Chain A
Amino acid sequence: MIPLLSVKSLSKDYGTNIGCSDVSFDLYPGEVMGIVGESGSGKSTLLNCMAGHLAPDKGEVVFDTRVDGPKDTLHMSEPERRMLSRTDWAFVHQHAREGLRMNVSAGGNVGERLMAVGSRNYADIRGKAVDWLSRVEISENRIDDRPTTFSGGMQQRLQIARNLVTSPRLVFMDEPTGGLDVSVQARLLDLLRGLVRDMGLSAIIVTHDLAVVRLLADRLMVMKDGQVVENGLTDQVLDDPQHAYSQLLVSSVLQV
């Protein structure tokens, strides 16, 4: 089977600070990969390099495109890369404000990706927006409200709806539950788990929260100082961590 995403020797360095160094892995269709580590471990740098938000110093990010098969996205033309990022890729930011248009209604936010790929029927767009709002548990009567009037949890759910409306084949998530209250986190996790299962999503989730990966990820990478120190099936890594740092990470969670 061809991997959906194949990352090869990806490195990024910020001079004195380490970004990420020599990271390689494959992600197969339907798989959810979790990347954990404390802040400064390079996990967000890695995610941003893969998603095309940051230019890595070296390496390849090969994506299995619909039309041409596997292609290095770092060497794609800009139109091609931007097309990819509004169709087959999605990116869920930690802070919903970065992923939403705060001055556009919830319906407009969900509809934007549809209109960007050519939807020109208002009723259809609105219908899909209503459907997706309900899937992320936002009431239909909020469809014309701006996200500024939403709670943090609702904003995050709206961002997820906006990203998933075009059925992307790969979703990048950067600390999707970060900054939310614990009860809100639980509800969002539950929702994400449902979506991942129902849609058979392929995703890469960066988080420092082991509970998130325990629930969502099939596989896990543990990062420290820009390096991948351990890598394996989620349950295996969490229940029987091999690397000293992974052991520390797991034990610190258990103590909480």
Chain B
Amino acid sequence: MSEQAYNFAYLDEQTKRMIRRAILKGLAIPGYQVPFASREMPMPYGWGTGGVQVSAATLTPDDVFKVIDQGADDTTNAVSIRKFFEKTADVKTTTNTKAASVIQTRHRIPEDELGDDQILVYQVPIPEPLRFLEPRETETRKMHALEEYGLMHVKLYEDISKNGRIATSYAYPVKVEDRYVMDPSPIPKFDNPKMEMSAIQLFGAGREQRIYALPPYTKVVSLDFEDHPFDPSRAPHCCSICGASDSYLDEVIINDDGGRMFVCSDTDYCERRVAEGHTGVQVSGDAA
């Protein structure tokens, strides 16, 4: 494959314009899923083709691009997507959240607060929050159009009646500007409150051919009941590397006896804290 044979950021200009129109429509109707003619990309559907197309349509030669998967810059899929844009768009890339102008993510929102000069692009596998309650696209689109969201609360009701609490821990549905119920992509519910931010948030679902968006400072409310309010909880531990007590943690199994420790899922955040002199309490295998 000769990279020169392809346009800047892989997609041809007409396709990018088509995607930009969908993005603008999405920004104009926050939370509404805009159908778009998703293209076959050179990576499989389900591996971030929606996010990649949105990034391709968003990137300019001056942008600084960061890709994370599970919060980390070094996971294989993040590496693969970063390399793809290095190759096809020749943009500068970074792992530093604060230095990036466009951040593509799978499953996390960075711990550092994003600014109004940044764009966060989410990879979305199933954009339809009602999908597992109603499998038909024709029906779910009607439910959105008519604001028929009773069924969504039935699901939460069932959770509480069965488990005593809402048993949804990621891809926790939100209501945008009191209108559309939206799937925030499979981020942990810990990240939901961060969605009211000053950066632009764009969501791309390639296989399902949908783009949606949140303009800066959009009202995003996680669905709940008055007497069972939304709870963005996390594991009750500190990061063993940097000691952070406010970050989302990955659990790492460290020996055959099931000993485990917790570390920041956002690797850039963790590394910066270590550079700033923070330390965590390293747990030795046998003590865990």
Q: In A103-140, which residues have CB < 8 Å from any B CB?
A: 104-105, 107-108, 111-113, 115-117, 120-123, 125-126
A193 at the interface (CB under 8 A from B): no
Q: How large is the interface on B (under 10, 10 to 19, 20 to 34, 35 or more residues)?
A: 10 to 19
Partner of B146 from A78, A108, A112 at Cβ < 8 Å: A78
Contact with B along A143-174 (1 / 0, CB 8 A): 11000000000000000000000000000000
Residues in chain B near residue A224, CB distance under 8 A: none
Contact (Cβ within 8 A) A121 B158? no
Whether B226 and A120, one on each chain, are in contact in the complex, defined by CB atoms closer than 8 angstroms, is yes
Does A122 contact B151, Cβ atoms closer than 8 Å? no
- List which B256-286 residues lie within 8 A (CB) of chain A: none
A46 and B158 alpha carbons, distance in the complex (Å): 36
Question: Could you say which residues of chain B place their CB within 8 Å of the CB of A116?
Answer: 148-151
User: Which residues from chain B contact A75 at a C-beta distance below 8 Å?
Assistant: none
Q: Give the distance to chain A from B245, nearest Cβ to Cβ, in Å.
A: 31
B225 in contact with A122 (CB, 8 Å): yes
Does B228 belong to the interface (CB within 8 Å)?
yes
Query: Which of B145, B148, B149, B228 has a CB less than 8 Å from the CB of A122?
Result: B228
Hey, which chain A residues are within 8 Å of B227, CB to CB? 121-123
Could you give, for residues 161-197 of chain B, a 1 whenever the CB lies within 8 Å of some chain A CB and a 0 otherwise? 1100000000000000000000000000000000000
Give 4 nearest A-B pairs by CB, closest first: A116-B150, A115-B153, A122-B225, A121-B226
9 A–B contacts, CB within 8 A, in A order = A79-B146, A82-B146, A112-B150, A115-B154, A116-B151, A117-B150, A120-B226, A121-B227, A122-B228
- The interface of chain B, by Cβ under 8 A from chain A, is 142, 145-146, 148-151, 153-154, 157-158, 160-162, 224-228
| Extra contacts besides A116-B149, A117-B150 (5): CB < 8 Å | A83-B146, A115-B154, A116-B148, A120-B225, A144-B162
A→B interface (CB under 8 Å) = 78-79, 82-83, 86, 101, 104-105, 107-108, 111-113, 115-117, 120-123, 125-126, 143-144
